[in-house]
Structure 1
Amino acid sequence: MAEVTLPEPDRVEGAPHPRDTRILFGHDRAEAAFLDAFHTGRLHHGWLITGPRGVGKATLAWRIARFLLAQEGGMFPPDSLEVEADHPVARRIAALSEPRLFLLRRGANATGSALSADIRVDEVRKMKSFFTLSAADGGRRVAIVDAADELAPAGANALLKLLEEPPPGVTLILVSHQPSRLLPTIRSRCRELRLSALEPAAMQDALVQAGAAVEDPVALAELGGGSVGEAVRLLNLDGLVLYRQLVDLLGTLPRLDRGRALALAEAGTGRGNEARFDLIVGLIDRLLARMARAGTLGALPPEAAKGESDLLERLSPTPRAALAWAELQQTLGHRARQGKAVNLDPAALLMDMVLKIDETAATLARTCA
Structure 2
Amino acid sequence: MDTARQASLHVVGHDAEFATFRRAAASGRLHHAWLLTGPEGIGKAPLAFRMGRSLLNGEDPAAPATRQITAGSHPDLLAIGRTFDEKRQKFRSEIVADEIRPINAFMHRTAAEGGWRVVIIDTAEAMNRNAANALLKILEEPPPRAILLLTCATPGMLLPTIRSRVRTLPVSPLSPADIHTVLARVAPETPPEELARVTPLAQGSPGRALSLLADTGGAISAVAHEAVRGMTMSRILDVADAIGRSEAGFGLLFTLLGSALAQASRQAAEPGLARSVKLADAWERVMLIRRQTEQFNLDKQEAIIEALSAAGSAHI
TM-score (norm 2): 0.78
1:175 maps to 2:154: no
Q: Secondary structure at the match of 1:215?
A: helix
Residues 355 and 57 of structure 1: is their aligned pair in 2 closer, same or farther, counting only changes over 3 Å?
closer
1:61-100 to 2 correspondences below 5 Å = 61-70=48-57, 83-100=59-76
1:153-232 to 2 correspondences below 5 Å = 153-211=129-187, 213=190, 215-217=193-195, 219-232=197-210
State the shift of 1:258 in Å.
Answer: 10
Q: Give the number of aligned pairs.
A: 306
Unaligned runs of 5+ in 1: 1-9, 12-16, 72-82, 298-318, 361-369
Contact residue 14 and residue 171 of structure 2 kept, 8 A? yes
Using the alignment, how far apart are the partners of 1:354 and 1:177 within structure 2?
A: 22
Using the alignment, how far apart are the partners of 1:118 and 1:351 within structure 2?
A: 25
1:1-369 to 2 correspondences below 5 Å = 10=1, 17-21=3-7, 22-70=9-57, 83-107=59-83, 116-135=92-111, 138-211=114-187, 213=190, 215-217=193-195, 219-238=197-216, 240-244=218-222, 264-270=239-245, 273-297=246-270, 319-320=271-272, 323-324=274-275, 327-328=278-279, 330-331=281-282, 334=285, 343=299, 345=302, 349=306, 352=309, 360=316
Contact residue 203 and residue 217 of structure 1 kept, 8 A? no
Counterpart residue identity of residue 34, structure 2: W
Counterpart residue identity of residue 57, structure 1: K
Q: Secondary structure at the match of 2:169?
A: strand
Using the alignment, how far apart are the partners of 1:136 and 1:352 within structure 2?
A: 55
Using the alignment, how far apart are the partners of 1:336 and 1:136 within structure 2?
A: 43
State the shift of 1:349 in Å.
Answer: 5.0
Using the alignment, how far apart are the partners of 2:276 and 2:14 within structure 1?
A: 34
Contact residue 264 and residue 279 of structure 2 kept, 8 A? no
Contact residue 121 and residue 148 of structure 2 kept, 8 A? yes
Using the alignment, how far apart are the partners of 2:283 and 2:54 within structure 1?
A: 46
Residues 211 and 86 of structure 1: is their aligned pair in 2 closer, same or farther, counting only changes over 3 Å?
farther
Residues 137 and 205 of structure 1: is their aligned pair in 2 closer, same or farther, counting only changes over 3 Å?
closer
Q: Secondary structure at the match of 2:147?
A: strand
State the shift of 1:230 in Å.
Answer: 1.9
The more displaced of 113-122 and 333-342 is 333-342
Counterpart residue identity of residue 279, structure 1: L
Using the alignment, how far apart are the partners of 1:259 and 1:115 within structure 2?
A: 32
Partner of 1:310: none
Superposed CA RMSD = 3.8
Q: By percentage of residues, which structure has more helix?
A: 2
Using the alignment, how far apart are the partners of 1:113 and 1:352 within structure 2?
A: 28
Contact residue 200 and residue 217 of structure 1 kept, 8 A? no
Counterpart residue identity of residue 174, structure 2: L
Please give the per-residue CA displacement for 1:328-353, whole angstroms capped at 9, x wherever unaligned: 56347637855985746467557756
Contact residue 42 and residue 206 of structure 2 kept, 8 A? yes
Contact residue 52 and residue 197 of structure 1 kept, 8 A? yes
Unaligned runs of 5+ in 2: none
TM-score (norm 1): 0.68
